[in-house]
Chain A
Amino acid sequence: MIQWLEDHLMEPLGKIAQNKYLQSIRDAFVIFALPIIITGSIFLIIANPPDEISGMPVLGPLVDAWVNAVEPIQAQLLFPFNLTFGIMAITVAFGVGYSLAQRKDDMDSVMAGILSMLAFFMTAFPVVDIEEIAFGEILAVLGGEGLFVAIILSILVTELMDFLTKRGFTFEMPASVPPYVVRSFRVVVPFMIILPLVWALQWIVYANFELTLPQAIMAMFQPLVTASNTYWAALGMILVMMVLWGMGIHGMNVVSSVVYPFWMSQLAANADAVAAGEQATGIVTEPFFHMFTHIGGSGVTLGLAIFMLFSASIQIKQVGKTSIVPSIFNINEPLIFGLPIVLNPILFIPFVMAPVVVVTINYIMFATGVMPPVVVQPPFTVPLGFGGFLATGGSFMAVLIQVLNVIVATIIYYPFFKRYEKQLVKQEQADAAEENEQTSSA
């Protein structure tokens, strides 16, 4: 069975997770874009005080004071937000080019990043004369709306740059020339070929359709973005994650490498809507899983980790001790492999069922507006309570729902956990008895 899985499942999954394009896209978001949008979203929160607290006894007056303080300078406070979210796609373009070049042999990653960024920038102007447009007018395209073009174009540009360089479209310098001179001359020919190509493409598209490339591509992707925000999409994502984890493969890692661009464009759309004072509609984002579903780690195992500490089984208790601290920070690989949940038919059932139920609760709570939408993506290690509060821009309701999720999941795990525990205890007693017999007969 395990060997069959290794042969038939690990290979194709390994291929997805190791796909150099998918990896580069994820790195572009996680390494390059995230710090910028986390910084930006802080200003979004400052400019938009959590108004649900307004009526509360102690915090209420504080929030009212906050509202009064930010009101006259709201536009100024939103400037860092608008700029950081507004250039998210530029950052991603650089990140994809850079990360992809790093995965290739003998490529100048920084130059590939810069070229990708420039190429994407060039497609963003809905005019043929650059002086006809104000910078603020294209920020939306350079931000959330440009994500898909930024990704696709950067991959094409980097591949083309690699191709041209390796086919000898470069100035090779004699050995005596200093390395930094060699570096710029090596890429200047690809730059001179690729940038005008992209410019011509943008010109043709705009002249014929009155659309920029990002607008045209976004129109193509819009149905997919919409579909990725449904309950069925969330359910599909969690099912794949949990089934993979059940076999010992990092499910979140594999799934996120495919759907990260969709999560990010939902998040950017939410933040924009909140900044504009409108209703945000994005539900299925990264924090939907990391902050509201995988609490204590993949599979909502926080409650389980606590119960393990008091287990009658020696093995479970021992694993519980090493798992509890990482669990607080939503890391549960030791638990998954030590309990183990991996290839464990008894625990596999609640391991899939609990997150499915929790995803359903979350989806309903977001869709009905019981808790406000996610506007911030905290690092996945932010503990229970803080995570929900941060992600929703300061909602206590989100904290309550996080706690509810853990309780519901723990109730689902409990009977299965007890049954498994009983089985282990029995086995441990049998082993101990056998050992006793051996020592007494010796």
Chain B
Amino acid sequence: MAEQSIKAIILCSWGATSSQLAKKVEEAAKKRGVEAQIYAGGTSDFKDKAAEYDVALLEPQVRHLRKEVNRIAEPHNIPVELVDQRAFALMDGDKVLDQVLNMAE
């Protein structure tokens, strides 16, 4: 997996903050020379293309949707985690990238 490009999706309710965070994580990846494609979207977007992703992250304000996301992710063996609350608040792309890399291992 390490050599391949990692595909991650960050989920929120409307896709507004997640696209901002996704951009930050991609920037962080570029800086570090990590091959990663980070997508953003709502939970319904995830259902359509779940198979395409390696990992899925949920933003803290939609953690009540975790069960549904887990249900979608399970058949595809995609790990699901919550974005660290502080990293989310500061839009800390580096920290979230670490989280993505950890999950993809």
Is A281 part of the contact surface with B, judged by Cβ < 8 Å?
no
Q: A322-B91, A333-B88 are in contact. Are A250 and B17 (CB under 8 A)?
A: no
Check A18–B16 contact: CB distance below 8 A: no
A339 CA to B86 CA in the complex, in Å? 9
- With beta carbons under 8 angstroms apart, the residue of B14, B20, B59, B64 that contacts A17 is B64
Interface residues of B in 32-82 (CB under 8 A from A): 44, 47-48, 59-68
* Residues in chain B near residue A103, CB distance under 8 A: 44, 47
Q: Chain A at the B interface: mostly helix, strand, loop or mixed?
A: helix
Nearest CB in chain A to that of B89: its residue? A338
Residue of B44, B63, B86 touching A102 (CB-CB under 8 A): B44
A residues lining the B interface (CB < 8 Å): 10-11, 13-14, 17-18, 23, 27, 99, 102-103, 245, 248-250, 253-254, 318-319, 322-323, 326, 329, 331, 333-340, 342, 380-381
Closest-by-CB residue of A relative to B66 is: A14
The chain B residue sitting closest to A322, CB to CB, is B91
B-side contacts of A253, CB under 8 Å:
13-14, 62
Total interface residues on B, using CB and 8 Å?
Answer: 25
State whether A340 and B17 are in contact (beta carbons under 8 Å apart), knowing that A14-B65, A17-B65 are contacts in the complex.
no
| Contacts A103-B47, A249-B61; A331 near B17 (Cβ below 8 A) | yes
Return chain B residues, CB-CB under 8 Å to A334: 17, 88-91
- Most B-side CB within 10 Å, residue of A14, A254, A326, A337: A337
Contact A18–B61 (Cβ < 8 Å): no
Q: How far is the CA of A11 from the CA of B14 in the complex (A)?
A: 21
Contact yes or no, A248 B63, CB < 8 A: yes
Are A319 and B89 touching (Cβ within 8 A)?
yes
Question: Which single member of B59, B63, B66, B90 contacts A333 (CB below 8 Å)?
Answer: B59
Query: How far does the alpha carbon of A323 sit from the alpha carbon of B47 in the complex, in Å?
Result: 29
What residue in chain B is nearest A253 (Cβ atoms)? B13
Given A102-B44, A248-B61, A340-B85, are A14 and B91 neighbors across the interface (CB < 8 Å)? no
Known: A102-B44, A318-B90, A319-B90. A14 touches B61 (CB 8 A): no
- Cβ of B8 under 8 Å from chain A: no
Contact present for A27 and B44 (CB under 8 Å): yes
Contact (Cβ within 8 A) A340 B44: no
Contact (A13, B61) CB under 8 Å given A334-B90, A337-B89, A338-B90: no
Q: With A250-B61, A338-B86, A338-B89 known to touch, is A331 a contact of B44 (CB < 8 Å)?
A: no
Partner of B64, one of A249, A333, A335, A340: A249
Contacts A23-B44, A103-B47 given; indicate if A336 touches B67 (C-beta within 8 A): no
22 contacts between A and B (CB under 8 A): A10-B63, A18-B64, A18-B67, A27-B44, A102-B47, A103-B47, A250-B62, A253-B13, A318-B90, A326-B17, A334-B17, A334-B88, A337-B60, A337-B85, A337-B86, A337-B88, A337-B89, A338-B85, A338-B86, A338-B89, A340-B85, A381-B16
**Distance in Å from the Cβ of B54 to the closest Cβ of chain A?**
23
CA A17 to CA B69, docked complex, whole Å: 12
What is the CB-to-nearest-CB distance from B85 to chain A, in angstroms, rounded to a whole number?
Answer: 5
B63, B65, B89: the one contacting A18 at CB < 8 Å is B65
Q: Which residue of B lies closest to A12 (CB)?
A: B64
Distance to closest chain B CB from A113 (angstroms): 15
